[in-house]
A and B are shown apart, each in its own frame.
Chain A
Amino acid sequence: MSAIPNPLKITYKVPKRRHPALAFIIQQPLGAAGLAVIILMILAAIFARWVAPYDPLDVDYANLLAAPSLEHPLGTDNFGRDVLSRVIHGSQTALAVGFLSSLIGSSIGAMIGVASAYFGGRTDMIIQRLMDVILAFPIIVLALAVVSVLGKNVVFGIDWNLIIAIGLPMVPKVARVVRSSALAIREMPYIDAARTAGFSHLRIILRHIVPNIVAPYLIMLTAFVGQAILLEASLSFLGLGVTEPTPAWGLMLSGSAIDFYQQAPWMIVFPGVAISLAVFAFNLFGDSLRDWLDPRIKL
């Protein structure tokens, strides 16, 4: 027997493995743009002192409510403080609060969700009820309550109670999503097998369940940074977040800004644009991340 006549030569091309980052940029241009803005913001926040033309706390009684000019590209506020510098420094608060509250809120939510799914039964029901209670509270009320009860607790220049206040509303939402993902694994027979084999709870959780929830966790994490920034802005607007004279975008929009908005519209336009841009970038990035990692997840 000879070989098959005219065997077809099949050439199989192994696709070159691109660096995942590059792949992301190419496949999700919008997301990449969002990421670029985020990186820019982070840089501005870190190097604020060098980037900003003036000291954000510098009161200048001679130049109150000055319109945007070469000297003050975004104008000055009712204390004569340079708006551009305040916006740049404001990014520090926004990012710090945004990242930290989202990180803490999502992580706690994830842990609760996993525990709820894994242990099931009574534990699950109690935890779910607790989550329902927190969820039923209007977000502003919740944040207001936490801030009011705990007061201000500033360590390393960051108000941790504000971070708890903003992170808290996220916990039940993350818990819910993580729980449903974890449940899917929980039902698998090999979990029971592992238990029978004598593996500890912790090991099972870490080994089998956690890898499955990393995707939704990361997605919610980035999505909630945007929401955290918005919530911080709302709270500062209501006077519950950071207080004068800290430059924070939400704070720049409250109080005196409203009083002066006819005379000096630049006082409210630019901080608002900053907030919108930041949240926009985070949302774009978060969306694209989700599309890239796992388009099936509905949030």
Chain B
Amino acid sequence: MLRYISQRLLMMIPTLLGVAILVFLMLRMMGGDPVEVMLRGEGANVSQEIIEAERVRLGLDQPVPVQFAKWLGGMMTGDFGVSMWTGKPVAQEIASRLQLSLQVAVMATILAVLIAIPLGTLSALYKDSWIDHLVRVISIAGLAVPSFWLGMIIILTLLTLFHWHPPVMFTPFFENPRENLSQLIWPALAVGYRYSAVATRMMRSTLLEVLQEDYIRTARAKGVFERLVVIRHALRNALLPVVTVVGLEFAFLIGGLVVTEQVFNLNGIGKLFVEAVSRSDFTMVQALVLLVASFFIIINFVIDLLYAWLDPRIRYR
């Protein structure tokens, strides 16, 4: 088991390194210069010397491998660099916004799970009935509807029906939980719908599979009460792939918040990412991408571990 864990841990490193290299190169190939955007973006009369001086200050005149080495070295010692746009530490900028994005993600996950498990179960148990068809249609619709458009429709509906306006300032949870939840429930819903669709479908298909298994037939033959059969045996085994998919989708979600935050005007890392890209703030974009990628990789790792723990066959491969 230990060997398996260390093996998987080791494999994370080249992946992370690959992501770092790729994002570093991509940014420099993407065109756009943070200094130009900062100094000339608003039409100021700035001489070429000032621009060059600023470039040197940010270290952009160095050859690319040197810049990369410097940045990577910094990352390893915990120094995530300084934003090229504001000059403040990247960690600080991200931290202040991460809370909001995480909260929306968590709320979306909770919503998704609360919807998916009962609906998926019902759908599987009453296969091919009208419940099944209804749930399937709702799920597929969930996969089809663009989440940012859903967000716009939600806002529009609330606006016209309830004259509700999206709040202009974010209230942290500990300041006023009710206000906070009422602000964030809508983006969570917009994102959570799709999320729940994926989970529902997974729940349904795995449960269907499990229900075909022999031991279920045995339990039924033994005369065990149907409900018990389902809850005790089937569900437990079906939940594992569902947990997997929920975990993976969560990782995807963090990356997908970009568009939703634009629509709801949330001050989260998605909005920060879009702004950083438009300003060519290299350090910020690098840090954000690495953050999200690490998230994804770590979640994958945890899921792999979970599988290995529950299914001994995998460990000994």
- Interface residues in chain A, defined as those with a beta carbon under 8 Å from any beta carbon in chain B: 30, 129-130, 132-133, 135-141, 144-145, 148-149, 151, 226, 230, 233-234, 237-238, 250, 253, 258, 261-262, 265, 268-269, 272, 275-280, 283-284, 287, 298
| Whole-angstrom distance between the Cβ of A230 and the nearest chain B Cβ | 6
Q: Is B167 an interface residue (CB 8 A)?
A: no
Q: Which one of B36-44, B254-262, B305-313 is at the interface?
A: B254-262
Q: What residues of A have a CB within 8 angstroms of the CB of B136 in the complex? A: 30, 287
The answer to whether A141 and B255 touch (CB under 8 A), given A265-B156, A272-B146, is: yes
Beta-carbon contacts under 8 Å, B1-15 to A? 11, 14-15
Q: Which one of B23-31, B64-72, B226-234 is at the interface?
A: B23-31
Q: Are B18's CB and A280's CB within 8 A? A: no
Q: Is B186 an interface residue (CB 8 A)?
A: no
Q: Is B170 an interface residue (CB 8 A)?
A: no
Q: Are A129's CB and B152's CB within 8 A? A: no
Q: Are A138's CB and B289's CB within 8 A? A: yes
Nearest residue (CB) in B for A279 is B144
Q: What residues of A have a CB within 8 angstroms of the CB of B296 in the complex? A: 135-136, 138
| Whole-angstrom distance between the Cβ of A92 and the nearest chain B Cβ | 19
Q: Is B85 an interface residue (CB 8 A)?
A: no
- Count of B residues near A, CB < 8 Å? 49
Pairs of residues from A and B, 6 with the lowest C-beta to C-beta distance, nearest first:
A138-B255, A133-B18, A279-B144, A280-B144, A272-B149, A148-B30
Q: What residues of A have a CB within 8 angstroms of the CB of B31 in the complex? A: 148, 151
Q: Which listed residue, B15, B26, B146, touches A136 by the CB 8 Å rule? A: B15
| Whole-angstrom distance between the Cβ of B12 and the nearest chain A Cβ | 9
Q: Are B22's CB and A272's CB within 8 A? A: no
For B143, B241, B262, B289, which residue has the most chain A Cβ atoms within 10 angstroms? B143
**A135-B296, A261-B155, A283-B144 known, 14 other contacts, Cβ within 8 Å:** A133-B18, A138-B256, A138-B258, A148-B31, A149-B29, A226-B144, A234-B148, A237-B148, A238-B274, A253-B146, A258-B263, A261-B156, A268-B149, A275-B145
Q: Are B140's CB and A287's CB within 8 A? A: yes
| Whole-angstrom distance between the Cβ of B4 and the nearest chain A Cβ | 16
| Whole-angstrom distance between the Cβ of A123 and the nearest chain B Cβ | 15
For B31, B143, B144, B241, which residue has the most chain A Cβ atoms within 10 angstroms? B144
Q: Are A276's CB and B141's CB within 8 A? A: yes
Q: What residues of B have a CB within 8 angstroms of the CB of A250 in the complex? A: 146
Q: Are B140's CB and A137's CB within 8 A? A: no
A sample of 22 inter-chain contacts (CB < 8 A) reads A30-B133, A137-B255, A138-B254, A140-B256, A140-B259, A141-B273, A141-B292, A145-B22, A145-B23, A148-B30, A149-B30, A151-B31, A226-B143, A230-B146, A237-B262, A238-B262, A253-B148, A262-B156, A268-B156, A275-B146, A283-B143, A298-B206
Q: What residues of B have a CB within 8 angstroms of the CB of A283 in the complex? A: 140, 143-144
Q: Is B297 an interface residue (CB 8 A)?
A: yes
A298 to B252, CA, bound (A): 19
A151 to B32, CA, bound (A): 12
